[in-house]
Each structure stands twice: as structure tokens, then as C-alpha cells.
A and B are shown apart, each in its own frame.
Chain A
Amino acid sequence: MQYSIFNLIREGINKHKGWPAAFRHPEPKERYDVIIIGGGGHGLATAYYLAKEHGIRNVAVVEKGWLGGGNTGRNTTVVRSNYLWDQSAFLYEKSLKLWEGLTQDLNYNLMFSQRGVLNLCHNLHDLRELHRRINAIRLNDIDSEYLTRDQVKAFVPILNMDPNIRYPILGGSLQRRGGNARHDAVAWGFARAADRLGVDILQNCEVMAILRDGAKVTGIETTRGTIRAPKIGAVVAGHASVVAGMAGIRLPIESHPLQALVSEPIKPILHTVIMSGAVHVYVSQSDKGELVMGAGIDTFNSYAQRGSLQVIEDQMAAVVELFPMFSRLRMMRQWAGIVDVCPDASPIVSKTPVEGFYVNCGWGTGGFKATPGSGWVFAHTIAQDRPHRLNEAFNIERFSTGELIDEHGAAAVAH
């Protein structure tokens, strides 16, 4: 059933008894054309675009827990495409363009709100880098604008614009097309749309082994039995090294917890996304009224999705520095997601030396915004067995040649 106001009213009268399941809970088939490992946003998007763009509908998405339970459900929901290097800019902009029509495409309201992303700048060095970045972004035909101190103040009146604070705000860069989306809805929306195209989403199905015949993959061993397919794509943020290891692939990735938290809901007072690399904070306010914040990553390798305290303490000091009026608000919930970080802070969306095995990983702290774009290029890479122009540069070989895409300035938190 289409989601629409008319059906909502009709079902309202019907006590909502008629809504079908958004996605099935099927039994695994013996064989598929493509298996996607990982039922997060990226994996589900890959399956959706395989079916929609490439006509490959005999696809399974295998998920060890519940779909959207990894970083899709743990991130701070920021969407933007203000990247420095051409390769990144094109990829993230493709993604942003997809976001702009995704609610209608999926017939699922992702609550994608282009309320703007404002990066603050606190010293002369950052200001120089800010201009470099804005110019590069604009010349790639992506929106970005410079806000002076006064313009920042007008745009976000509750910011602390006192020139005498420790890190005064000198200006900022604004991407008006950036914003937030409802993270869980992205997983569910893609799942529903992929399911409607025939994709099997297999939850509680953990991959135990990747089966190979010489240099080719042939299938996977799972907790729900053996499933065969000639092509397997691994999209498992937080577990990339583990799953790639099953296929004998080593990755230049380290996994770290990224700390995040929300406040209690308060009446909306912040209507954009604020990021500051210098004081290490990013914050937005959800449509429920919660202030959603990303803190830094714990520096050590970890697969534990647990909140820790010291990162949060630094984070709160930064928030109160920028927004002194937030001091009496309260942290309601904290958690961590495991981010897979590449040395150049750019992802790997690539074929591998193992035939039929493809990896999509290493998105670090920035994967959510890439969800549709990542799925789109990965679907292309799997379907055509060669990368799309947009993800050509994001190959594994770059770590040997040195042709890295160094985006360390891209996230608000230092990697």
C-alpha cells in the first residue's frame, strides 16, 4: 500500500488494521544473484539500486541483528556534501542529490530537512582553510557560502559571539542544502522499497564464513544456513576488517567508538546543524526537540558500542563554550557507534583481488550522509563488475600507490 495522506486517513478510520508489513521476514533461499552482507542503510540502499537501476532483483541482504542496528541507527544524522577534494565532492554531492528526491522515490518520509550545515571558524589558520574549502566546493558547483561573524550571529542568534572568549567565532561556512534526516527511517524506507522489488532481507542471519572456489566467491555460511551467490558485497561498518578477513582481504582500517548523545527534548531553539572542528563539537536539534550531538572518537581500537565518559566531558565543555545557555540542559542518553577509519579518512568502495567480492567500508564518522550515493555506486560496481566513475578513486590500490584522498579536515572531529 502506498503511503499517503489519503491512505493514512482511510486507515485511521479503519483503526490502522490494513497496513501491510513494511518488509517481509522471509526464509533464505538457496541461491541468489547477489548477496549483500550488512543490513544497514548502505547495504539496503545497494540492494535497492541493484534492483531498481540494474534489474538485479534476486538479491539477499543478510543482517546479523536487526536492520539498521549498526551505525545507521547510531549516528547524528547529518547530511552534507561540502568536501574539499573533487573525488569526495562528486561522490557526496551525488548522494545529496539522491537525498533530495529520496522520500518520494522510496515513498517513505525520511524527514530530510535541508536546514543547513554551518561550520564555525575560530582562528586565522582555520579561516584560510575555510576559504580554500568554500572556493573548491563552489567551483565543483556545490553550494557553500561564507558567513561573516555578523552573518553567523544573525543566522544562529543563540551562539556565543563574545569576541573575548577562548575561541571566538570569526566566521563560518554554510551549506544550505545540508541538514538532517531521520536515521531509522532511512533503513526502513530502503528496506521497504527493496522488499517491494523482490529483495529478501534476512535478519538475525550472521555470516560465519565466506565460501570460495579458488579465487572466486561462491557463497556464505550463515547462522541460517548456507546461501550461494556468485557476487557478494560487504557493507558492514564497524565490522569491515572482520568480514573482509573472512574472504582473506586485509584492510587499512581501524575501528573506533564514536561517542554520541542526545539531550532531553526541549522546545526547538536551534534550527541548523552547527559544527566546529576547533572546539570539537557538532550539534543539531531533532524534530522531537532533542539536541543531538556527536562527540569525538575514543582513540583506541574497539568493537564495544558503549558510551564512555571522558569524551563526553570534553564535548560538553565545548557545547557550553558555544552555547552558554545550554549548561542547565541535560544529557538524556549516550551511546557509541563503531566507525571504521581509513588512513586518509576516505572510504573504500571497490572490487577486491577476490573475484566476485566487493567491499564498501571505511566511511569513518561520515557514512550516514553518503547512504544513497554509496549504495548507488556500489550497486553499479557489483552489477557491472567495475567501479562507476564516481567511486573509481576510492579503490583499495590507492594505499599502495599513495594516491590518497586525504579528507582529514572533513569531519568536525579529528580522526
Chain B
Amino acid sequence: MTDQRFRNAAGGRIDRSRPLTFQFNGRRYDGFGGDTLASALLANGVRLVGRSFKYHRPRGIVAAGSEESNALVQLGTGARTEPNVRATQAEMHDELSAASVNCWPSVEVDVGAINSALAAFLPAGFYYKTFMWPPRAWRFYEWFIRRAAGLGRAPTEPDPDRYEKTYAHCDVAVVGAGPAGLAAALAAGRVGARVILADESSEFGGSLLGEAATIAAAPALDWVAGAMAELAALPEVRLLPRTTVFGYYDHNHLGLIERVTDHLGPRTDTTLPRQRLWKVLARQVVLATGAIERPLVFDDNDRPGVMLASAARTYANRWAVRAGDRAIVVTNNDSAYPAALDLSEAGVNVQAVIDARETPPDAWREPLRVRGIDLAAGRTVAAALGRKRVEGAEVYELAADGSRLIGAARCYDCDLIAVSGGWSPTLHLFSQSGGRPRFDAGIAAFVPGESRQAERSVGAARGTFSLAGCLAEGFAGGAAAALACGFGDGVAPPVPATGDTPAGPLRPLWRVPTAGHGGKAFVDAQNDVTADDVELAAREGYRSVEHLKRYTTTGMGTDQGKTSNVNALAILADLTNATIAEVGTTTFRPPYTPVTYGALAGRSVGDRFDPVRMTGLHQWHEAAGALFEDVGQWKRPWYYPRRGETLHQAVARECGAVRASLGIVDASTLGKIDIQGPDALKLLNLVYTNAWDNLEVGRCRYGLMLKEDGMVFDDGVTARLGPNHYHMTTTTGGAARVMGWLEEWVQCEWLDMRVHFTSTTTHWTVVAIAGPNARRLLAELCPDIDLESAAFPFMAWRDGTVAGIPARVFRVSFSGEQSYEINVPSSCGVALWQVLMTAGAKYDITPYGTETMHVLRAEKGFVIVGQETDGTTTPQDLGMDWIVSKKKTDFIGKRGLTRADCGRADRKQLVGLLPENSKDTLQEGAQIVAEIRPKPPMPMEGHVTSSYWSAALGRPFALALLMGGRARHGQTVAVSSYGTTSWAKVVPPIFWDKEGERLRG
């Protein structure tokens, strides 16, 4: 337990009625509700919170918000641990536990700090210049580098938390709930616009939370409370605290991440998600994202205790925490003066304000004098003293051109150096929206340029730093945005009076001249990029700002350079004699702050990663012990092993049953499309390669579809149900593709064609019975269809009833046996299946899965699109010339087939293979080689597409694509797989019932 020695007895926005305890690096501390981890650590006097990425330098808290570059912690433990959390954004809850990242064995004693001693040899990009010998030793060096890489640790267990996503629409989205954002929301909300107001902080008010400002002669936070109350009462206004707008995408889409329960700590109640991803479509966007204070670049400016002046001020005002006992405030602009005064008010001994400007505005002199704070003008800090915490500062007079220090140092004894190098508007979202920032020399910062989307920036986000200005722009921006959506008259509400002190111009100060005793001046603290690194990059020719970024890694840390970018490019501009405007800024990329993967995945995890499609018979298959195969999104029975059976044994048994008696298979997943209209026939003639004119009602026909390049795309049987009515079937995986294909052609190319499509795939349960006893079984159950071959031949269909269920029966066969595909309404599928199983028992009816189906069809030489074809296969390659009409003047793909390459004699053609060794089932995917050599390379001339052991043949067989294969029947070829060679005879690709008597019989 500690005493919160740096916490003032009164003030701040913490909940003193809610004392909390937490752990940091294994030690227990006290804090209050409303604290962040950072404010609570500072209250307890903890200054050293982390180590830097490369040199493992001791680091403390620099900022009070999401721009924090140093204070990264591993938050929580176990499955809920989270790496690299900024202590400034971790809201305090009871029993919070956190630890410093990237240090071992502890943050106090860190072995990695040896890098600091070697720093002279580890400048930016040093790794590009060494570790090159001996050749191929890089992985040896890399092992050590990877040991040192990374900051925090990933959890080692699955995430126990839940995430949600939601869509929202609004008229005006206001990003940021500081004075400008609140004003904008008020102006838009009052006239009835639907407003979403989001702010990353737990509390609205923005900068006002950390300042002691006044509005309308009262504390500014009173005005905030009033605004909040008014907004909360407006029904069309939605307030989203703890919600970061992280991305500005096309067409005014915003990505928001809401931390719904993170601040409550680990919970067992999971009614609420951990975080929620909002996808907001806004008609107008008001960016009131504020500005970020810049640090100053001086020697050892990274010592714990060097802090942004605004942050020190915020800690004092918002959390009643003194960031130090004895402070100096160093600035080049006005904003640090109220900070100095507030610090002093909070009890910090502020010794001096060190202002780089020769003549600071007179308005500050008197308030400083009253507080006993010295003012040192024309001076700046050139070095921080101390190592694990600031122990002092060296202050020098600065030459008029800023190029050198003059005279001797004055040393201040202090533990806090509060710095302000000016302010950079937060342009991230503006830049993401497609806008180009423009450099404003007046405030030495980039400001938003022309808008590319329906957005406007207000307040500090566009470089207006006075409170009055922020309120005025907020009101005006909100009113204008509402008007653009048709609400109100665009007139801004009156601006209340504020207590602003007019600000004087700032003195740009990018690189404080070195004090000369070997300190490092950091530009990007998190990535350990120093001013010397920037100089080295420029010297080596990496002069583009993007090269600078990539060569030195400045701005590429988890803070994405929020505090470092402008300093870095200004120093680069100086070194290359260019203006800052010429150097330009790098592109800001989403997200503004890092976004949890789980939130982006949302509910699409686990079972919901991708929908599972199951047929109506799925539960029956499961109960029968089927193993399943994924086919697209479908689960199809693969095979039905009986006790102790292997795949091979089960499939042999299933195949045997079909060939000898009767099998039954669930064919419901086949795609089905109902086609109707006077031009249906015309369409079929265009999308299939064969002719459909003479297909009578009651008959069906097999067809192949090609793409325009002549390559096989899908296949299936289509039945003529009526004069203008067809039932098309497709492959299981191709159903949606074919449906889309037909729609596309009819809607985009043949606009006058009168034909309509309806997907009926899941309307039907399709059960195929196959085998010599198929007709016998069906006859028992189907009194109203004449099943004799003369009346119901192969490739015909009939309507009737099966087991009393209205059914459409197709006499088609994918097995080569006598076979009927019985289609019944999906709701009747289970009933049908059960009747068939019961009635078929006397024929030993055997359910079979996809594996058996594949064996049976392969014995017949029936191809599977996607297995015997791969997008480079023509009908001729498959030996299916017979299905390509010579008479039709046109069909899709006809011209493609006559291109030069399609006529080559050495194209890969479908053949059968019989392995010479009759025990040797070839590996599917084995390659046929032209010549066996002792070792590769060996020229290949085809591959095995399907290969099975055939119970019917009593031997293995295969289908293959082989160069010039049709002319090579009878030859023996070498088949190579994983270094093993098999020899196989090339045969025609049909192995069973070549005359087709069984399926027609």
C-alpha cells in the first residue's frame, strides 16, 4: 500500500468515494475510480514505467491521452492479458494488474539496456549494413534480433470475451467531444439532425477536463455539464463515450470502436460485449479531434519526468495529481503559461517558465510574478539530467537563429520538465478521408486543406486554439452540417464569453542545439529515433519524408508518430534546405489508435466463422455414424463406417452394395434452378454446348457449360418440365455461380430475352437410389408411375408419389447403375428416406457417401468439374466432343474453343490409368513424367486427377490428364509421387459397363 503522495487532497474528477487497489510490476498501489493507470501511477510517485524499444532506455509517462508514446504496459493476466496498452488509456478498476513491457528481469534492472552502451554502433538502419557474412548466416543473427523484438506478449489462450458489431446511420457525426465537438453537436442536435457524438475518453469535455478555463463566467466544466444534459435530452442525439473513431473510409463511412466493458475489468457477466465495432454512415462529418502538443527535441529529452506541459496540467486538474515536486516549464508558445499557473496552483513548485521567444507576451508576466515563477525568455532547455528520472535541467540562452546555445548553462534542480513545442492539429481522420494537409507557418503545423468528402474540421483540429474560437467554429460547423442535411437555417448559436488570453506567435524550435555531453535527443521516443538518426538518413540520401520514416522507423510505433511526425520532418527540412511544406507529411493510415482483432472479427468466430449448410437429412446421417466432407459450405456424408471399418473398407462395402443390389445417397446439395419463360430454350442453347431443341417435355439431358474462353465451367442435368419451363441442376459447389452466370447474361447481354430464374436448391430433398434393385424398390412405393423402361426410359422424369409423398422422379445415373433421383419437398425428406431404408432392407439398401459416389462415377469415366478440370480444360480435352454441337451457330465459349492453343495435339487429355501393380492405388495429384531420372528435374506431362481402388474391378484405377493422351492408349507411363514411381497403362477413361446397359436396363 502506498500513500498517493502526489495526490492533492481535493479537486480533480476522480471519485474519492471509490478507492481502488491495483498492481503494477508486482507491487500494490492505491487509486480512485476515475483514474487511469497513468494518473494512479503518478499519484503514487511511480515515474519509471517502461523501457524503450531499441536501447531499453528508462521511460516515464509523457502524455495524458492516446498520443502516449512511452508508457506501454501488459494489462491483465491469463487469457485476458493485453499487450502494449497505453497506461494513459487504461481506466482504473479494482484489482487491475499491469506490468511494464520489453524489459527483463525488471523495469528497474533491464539487461536489454546493454544496447544503450552499444548505441554508437546501432544507428538508424545499422542492420542494413552488417550481419551479411558469412552468407546465409542471417538466420543465426536473426534469432538474436527476434529475441529482442516486440513489446508486449500475446495471450497464450483463446479470448474468453465477446465482441459485437453494429451499423448506424446519422446526419451529422461529430468526432471529439471537446468544446468544439460539443458545440457542433449542440448546434446540429438542436435543429433536429440525427447526431452521433463520439469521444475516445471516458468523459466528455476534451481539453476542458484538464484546464481551469471559464465559459460564461463560470467554470467551463459547468458549461460541459449543461451541454451534456441538453444533448442527452435530445432524442436524435446518440452519445458514445469511450469510443474512438479510428477510420474514415470512402463515402463517409466511419469505423468506431467502443470499449464497452474494458473499464469494468474482468467480469463473469458477459451480457455486454467487451468491445463493439460501429460502422457509421454519416451524411456529414464534423471533425473536432483537437490537437496534440509536440515535445521538444533536446538531449535526453526521454528521461522519466519530461512530460508534455498540457499533460502535466491535465494530471493536476483532472486527477488532482502533481506530476512532480519541482518543475520547470519549457515552451516556445503561449499554451504552457496557463499550464505553469495550474501546476503551481496544484502545489507543484514551478521554478521557471523557460520561453524560447525573446519577448513573450506581457500578459503572462504578472500572473507568473504573483505565483513566484521566474520567466526566462530567449532560453531553452538543452539537456535533461538524471537517468531513471529527471534530476535537473540545463538551460541556455538560444541564438537568435536558433542554431546554437550561448553562454553557460543554468542548471535547475527539478524532477519535472514540462515541455511545449507547439501544437499539431489531429489530422488523421481528415487525411484518411482523402484530404491533403497544408502547412500553416503561422502556427508551424499542418492544418486541413480542401475537403474531399462531406466533412469539415472545427476548433483545434483546424488550428484554432482559443476556446472562444473552438466554440464559435463548433457551433458554426454543427449548424452548417445540419443545414447540409436539411435541418435548421445554418445560423450558428451565439458563443458564450470565455476567459481566453490572446496568444502571441510561437517560435518554431525543432531541434534544440546539443548541450554537447553525449546525450541523445529523441524525435520518436517509442522507436528510439534520435535527431542524429534523422540527420544520418538525410546524409545517406533518404530525403523523402517516406524514406525517412521507413529508414529510421520514426512514426511507425504503436503511437503512429502522433507526437513525433512534425518534429521529424521539420528537422529533415532543415537538413535538406527545404521548407516544411515542401517536405510534406506522410500519409496517415487507419486506425487512429490500434483496434482489437477480435472486434473486427466480431461474431464471425468459432461456429459462426462461416455458415454451415446441412441438408434436411443431416441428423439422420449423423445418427448413422457418417463422417462428413466439406463441399463448399455444405456438410456432405463422406462415408458411413460400420464398427471398426476404415475408409477403404467402408467404401468397398458401399460400392459393392450399389453394384450388387442397392445403394442410397443424399443428393440434395446439387444446385437446382427453375427456369421459366418463352425464351428458356433459347437460353439453354446459348449456355450449354449441346443442342436442346428436340428435348421433349418429360425428358432430361446432360449439359456442359463453358466460359467464353471455352474452358469447362459447370455441368449438370436439365429437365424440360413444360413447353417454357425447365429444371436445371448444377454441381454442388457451382450452384450460386451458375445462378449468377445466367442472371448476368440475361440482364446484361440478352436484355430482350424473356426468361426468369429461381434458385430451388433447398426446396427439394433429393434422394438417389442406385443399383440393380432400384426399380424393384421404387415400384413397391410408387403406384402411379409406370417404371418400365419403355415408359420411363433413362434420362426421363415423371411426377407421381413415392410412399404417398408427392415426388418428381428423375431417371438419371451418376453411378452407372439403374438409378432414380427422387425429389420431394424438403419437409418430406426424412419421411421418404426412412421409408426407403425400411422397404429397402430386404435388398440390403446401403447408404453411401461422396467417396463411394466418386468411385462409382470414376469407374464410368464421369468427370467432376473441378477435379478432372481446373479452368484450363476444354470439352475436347475431356473426350466430350460429342456434347459440343457442330450445328449451333453460337453458344458461350464456342469461339474460345477455336483459338490456336485449343487445337494443339499435345493438350492434356482425359485418360484412364491402370497401375501395373494391382496393389498400387496411385496418389491423387501424382504427376506423370516423361522420363524417370535419378533425381529431379523430370519433365511432366500430366497428372492423376482421380484414383481409387475398385471393388468391382478388383484392382486400382485412375483418371488422369495426359498430354496427347487420347492417342496414347496402350502405352505405359511413369507416375511419380513423393519420389516413388509407379507404372501404369493408359486406357480409355471408362472401366465399367462400357455399353451403358446397366444404367439403361
Contact = CB atoms under 8 A, between A and B. Distances in A.
A124 B927 CA distance: 18
A4 B900 CA distance: 55
Contacts, number: 324
A32 B818 CA distance: 76
B594 A324 contact: no
B900 A401 contact: yes
Interface in B530-551: 532, 536, 539-544, 546-547, 550-551
A259 B979 CA distance: 39
Interface in A190-208: 203
Interface string A130-142: 1111111011110
B676 interface: no
Contacts of A104: 132-133, 135
A330 interface: yes
Nearest to B556: A333
Given A132-B925, A401-B899, A408-B871, A326 B84 contact: no
Contact of A139 (B80, B129, B152, B936): B936
Contacts of A114: 139
A70 to B, nearest CB: 11
| Interface magnitude class on chain A | 35 or more
Nearest to A189: B128
Interface in B592-620: 594-598, 600-602, 604-607, 609-610, 612
A402 B871 CA distance: 12
Nearest to B927: A135
B82 interface: yes
B271 interface: no
Interface string B541-583: 1111011001101001010100000000000000000000000
B938 A269 contact: no
B866 interface: yes
A9 interface: yes
Contacts of A321: 605, 609
Contacts of A166: 606-607, 609-610, 612
Given A73-B550, A269-B154, A288 B149 contact: yes
Interface in B403-431: none
A115 interface: yes
Interface stretch (B62-70, B245-253, B687-695, B760-768): B245-253
B542 A22 contact: yes
B605 A4 contact: no
Contacts of A316: 597-598, 600-601
Interface string B962-999: 00000000000000111100000000000000000000
Interface string A279-308: 100000011110000000000000010111
B516 interface: no
A321 B926 CA distance: 31
A47 B83 CA distance: 44
Contact of A109 (B127, B923, B924): B127
| Residue of A114, A309, A403 most packed against chain B (CB within 10 A) | A309
B83 A8 contact: no
B924 A128 contact: yes
Interface in A94-133: 100-101, 103-104, 107-109, 111-115, 122-125, 128-133
B386 interface: no
A141 B81 contact: no
Interface stretch (B156-164, B199-207, B312-320, B882-890): B156-164
Given A101-B135, A328-B598, A404-B872, A309 B255 contact: yes
A379 B165 CA distance: 51
Contacts of B126: 8
A268 B149 contact: yes
A109 B601 contact: no
A109 B145 contact: no
A66 interface: yes
Given A131-B924, A267-B152, A404-B872, A327 B596 contact: yes
Interface string B840-871: 00000000000000000000000000110011
Contacts of B536: 16, 19
Nearest to B541: A21
Nearest to B923: A131
B146 A139 contact: no
A54 interface: no
A129 B925 contact: yes
B194 interface: no
Contact of B601 (A12, A203, A320, A408): A320
Given A21-B540, A109-B131, A100 B591 contact: no
Contacts of B504: none
A402 B81 contact: no
A189 B53 CA distance: 25
B166 to A, nearest CB: 13
A7 interface: yes
Contact of A327 (B159, B594, B870, B938): B159
B541 A123 contact: no
A23 B731 CA distance: 58
Contact of B541 (A23, A122, A165, A307): A23
B901 A402 contact: yes
Contact of B943 (A115, A132, A279, A333): A132
B120 A13 contact: yes
A167 B132 CA distance: 41
Contacts of B734: none
Contact of B139 (A25, A115, A128): A115
B590 A122 contact: no
Interface in A65-102: 65-66, 68-69, 73, 86, 100-101
A182 to B, nearest CB: 8
Given A104-B135, A266-B153, A136 B943 contact: yes
Contacts of B150: 265-268, 288-289
B138 A327 contact: no
A224 interface: no
A307 B590 contact: yes
A32 B556 CA distance: 38
Contact of A268 (B129, B138, B146, B602): B146
Contacts of B597: 263, 316, 319-320, 326-331
A335 B598 CA distance: 19
Interface string B900-924: 1110000000000000000000011
A226 interface: no
A291 to B, nearest CB: 9
A394 interface: no
B596 A3 contact: no
A396 interface: no
B158 A325 contact: yes
Given A22-B540, A166-B609, A332-B558, A130 B925 contact: yes
Interface string A251-270: 00000000000011111110
A268 B547 CA distance: 26
Given A320-B605, A327-B601, 19 more contacts: A8-B130, A66-B547, A109-B128, A109-B130, A123-B630, A123-B631, A125-B631, A167-B609, A265-B150, A267-B149, A288-B150, A289-B146, A318-B609, A319-B597, A330-B84, A330-B596, A330-B597, A401-B899, A406-B871
30 contacts: A3-B128, A16-B123, A20-B540, A25-B541, A66-B544, A66-B546, A104-B132, A109-B128, A111-B138, A115-B139, A128-B867, A128-B924, A135-B925, A135-B976, A136-B927, A138-B979, A266-B154, A287-B146, A288-B149, A306-B249, A308-B249, A309-B249, A317-B601, A317-B605, A327-B605, A328-B80, A328-B155, A328-B596, A328-B597, A329-B83
Top 7 nearest A-B pairs (CB, nearest first) are: A289-B150, A131-B925, A132-B925, A327-B159, A330-B594, A21-B541, A402-B901
Interface of A: 3-5, 7-9, 12-13, 15-17, 19-25, 65-66, 68-69, 73, 86, 100-101, 103-104, 107-109, 111-115, 122-125, 128-136, 138-141, 146, 165-167, 182, 184-185, 188-189, 203, 263-269, 271, 279, 286-289, 304, 306-309, 312-321, 324-335, 400-404, 406, 408
